[in-house]
Amino acid sequence: MTIPTTNLVTFPGADAIPEGARVDASRWDRQWLCNGEIRTWAGDTAPVRSPVCVMRPGTTEPEQVEIGRIAMVDRAAGLEAVAAARQAWDHGRGAWPTMRVGERIERMSTFIAGMRATREDLVRLLMWEIGKSRADSETEVDRTVAYIVDTVEALKELDRTAARFSVTGGFVGQIRRSPLGVVLCMGPFNYPLNETFTTLIPALIMGNTVVSKLPRFGQLVILPLLAAFRDAFPAGAVNVFQGDGPTVIGPIMESGDVDCLAFIGSSRVANILKRQHPRPNRLRCITGLESKNPAVILPSADLDLAVKECVAGALSFNGQRCTAIKLILAHADIADDFVARLAKAVDGLTAGMPWDKVALTPLPEPGRPAYLRGLVDDAVASGARVIGGGGGAHGTFFRPAVVFPVAPAARLYKEEQFGPVVPVTTFRELDEIDQFMRTSPYGQQIALFGTEPRQLAQLVDALVNSVCRINLNTQCRRGPDSFPFTGRKDSAEGTLSVSDALRAFSIRTVVATTATETNQDLIGEIVTRRLSGFLSTDFLF
Ligand code: G3H
């Protein structure tokens, strides 16, 4: 079929980048953090190429801008980072894991102040490295700071609850949550700051020590924070580097020195990493993996609302969200009307550079436009059409395509597109929705649009054990961050939310004794003389 060449994006000339959007990444060139030192790597580096392209005079092909170089540490350096974390952990006897909660919170507050001071750098690096719009980049940074502040409050609350003794069945005991050990944190490119920190920060504040490998894209954005990490936390408590996964992460996992893996990415890679650990029973895994969240448009749906939510749900940050709506199932009676309105709304979305006030921006993954085009062509080969003017590409930009009706045999029906393609299919019976979720390898979320209470209730009851969040008349999303964020099957392991994450990165530990007078006196003396950090009734305000 003919690929549209209109409605695409215009890349600027090299001298047309606005002053307020420029970035100079040379300040963080080749940096990594190991054992409390910001080091400059003398070995291999890799270019960081922006999805933002420029047009050079006399050329017609957009050229990706190189905004910096990242240190690609080798096997030995990766193992040195994990050894530093292991030493800082020191069998749970290190300065950080044994520090009183109040002091850990003070250190985290120092870090928050350092992070706030880097806000504009972080926002600009997000724009340039992953093509996120300024508004969404600001939201990512601010939401992450808010997450850390809320995490501190949640830890205080957890600690207050643990400050009391339990007396039961003739025993007296104090139950607290203790850290697990060394945590390997690996975040994704689409939220390189937020999703890395929603595991790294709770892991750290619970007293674990951390090794973090940077995401595939969105690597530089972590580097302005290395100084804040170094200044706030003991040496080795946080170690940050970039390197080739198989070269660096393989040996780290094989060392057996990782106690907990926090990984946001594909189930394929998660499974490789887990299998590399020599003692899998010792490895706790907190993962966020793939998803194919459907939206269901029932005959009773308010179509204006459904279109608005589906556009935002499918195309915010160009569809590059694990929570994005990745397939729309529209009831056959209203499907044509819904798709016509949807295509009109999608065609009306504005495209531009991240610093423009636009909805659509270029994509960071090389080859993504061609991959998305392949998915569209495959669906068309099984009988679908591109509705509206989408499906065209220019350099790193792909104009969103609404594809309808997508047959179950098409790749778009099952495959996670992770990009700006909006597949729509039809259904007639509610059982087909249930059937879709049962046979899906994923189980993160679903969005239901309708106004008929009995029908919605029936679907909720059918689906509640297949997914972990059902969104009624609203798109799928992670927030608010106090809500549990998880998934079934190949979508996730463990639950993240501000308070759940503190639990995920810790283990309940109890000090107990028989409730004799002698033992109670003994505990009383330890507590009143403040002889122990664990056995304590100190109350954090
Ligand atoms: O990629 C997955 C993100 O956690 C999505 O977060 O739904 O708040 O955009 P969000």
Q: Write the pLDDT tens digit of every residue in 188-211.
A: 999 999 999 999 999 999 999 999
Q: What tokens were used for 36? A: 């409390």
Instruction: Provide the phi-psi class of 36: left if phi over 0, else alpha when psi is between -120 and 50, else beta.
Output: left
Q: Where are the domains of the chain?
A: 14-162+176-288, 293-486
Closest CA to 238 of 185, 306, 309, 290: 185
Q: How many CB atoms lie within 10 A of CB 403?
A: 28
Q: What is the pLDDT of residue 7?
A: 87
Tell me what pLDDT residue 415 has.
97
Q: How far is the CA of 87 from the centre of ligand 1 (A)?
A: 34
E strands along 108-244, which residues?
166-168, 171-179, 182-186, 209-213, 238-241
The owner of tokens 């940077």 is 214
For residues 165 and 191, the answer to whether their CB atoms sit within 8 Å is no
- Taking the C-alpha atoms of residue 132 and residue 422, their distance in angstroms, rounded to an integer, is 19
Residue 4 is predicted with a pLDDT of 86
Using a 6 Å cutoff on CB, does residue 322 contact ligand 1? yes
Please tell me the distance from the alpha carbon of residue 142 to that of residue 145, in angstroms, as a whole number. Answer: 5
For a mutational test of ligand 1's pocket, the pick from 445, 477, 485, i.e. the residue with the most ligand atoms closer than 8 A to its C-beta, is 477
CB of 143 shorter than 6 A to ligand 1: no
Q: Each residue of 417-430: b (16+ CB within 10 Å) or e?
A: bbbbbbbbbbbeee
Within 8 A by CB and 6+ apart from 290, the residues are 266, 267, 322, 416, 441, 442, 490, 491
What tokens does 322 get? Answer: 């694990």
- Domain covering 293-486: architecture: 3-Layer(aba) Sandwich (3.40)
Tokens 């507050």 found at = 109
Instruction: Tell me if 199 CB under 6 Å of ligand 1.
Output: no
Rounded-to-integer distance, Cα 456 and Cα 451, Å: 8
pLDDT under 70 in the chain at which residues? Answer: 1
Is beta strand 325-331 parallel, antiparallel or unpaired with respect to 260-264? unpaired
The pLDDT score that the predictor gives to residue 5 is 83
- Residue nearest ligand 1's atom 8 by CA: 478
Please tell me the residue having the least CA distance from ligand 1 atom 4: 478
Domains 14-162+176-288 and 293-486 equal at CATH topology level? no
Residue located via tokens 């964020």: 485
pLDDT value of position 1 = 66
359-370 pLDDT, tens digit each: 999 999 999 999
CA of 458 to the centre of ligand 1 (A): 27
Burial of 357 from C-beta contacts in 10 A (0-12 / 13-18 / 19+): exposed
List strand residue ranges (DSSP E) for 118-243, in order.
166-168, 171-179, 182-186, 209-213, 238-241
CB of 479 closer than 6 A to ligand 1? Answer: yes
Neighbours of 433 (CB within 10 A): 22
Both tokens assigned to 302: 């308010």
Answer whether 417's CB lies under 8 Å from 372's CB: yes
51 neighbors 9 (Cβ within 8 angstroms): no
* Any atom of ligand 1 within 6 Å of the Cβ of 191: yes
- Residue 200 phi/psi, 5° resolution? -60, -45
- Residue 323 in contact with ligand 1 by CB distance below 6 A: yes
In the chain, the amino acid numbered 205 is I
* CATH number listed for the domain at residues 14-162+176-288: 3.40.605.10
| Interval between CA 13 and ligand 1 midpoint (Å) | 33
Ligand 1, closest atom to CA 143?
Answer: 8
Question: Between the CA of residue 464 and those of 369, 437, 469, 477, 480, what are the distances in Å?
Answer: 35, 10, 8, 16, 19
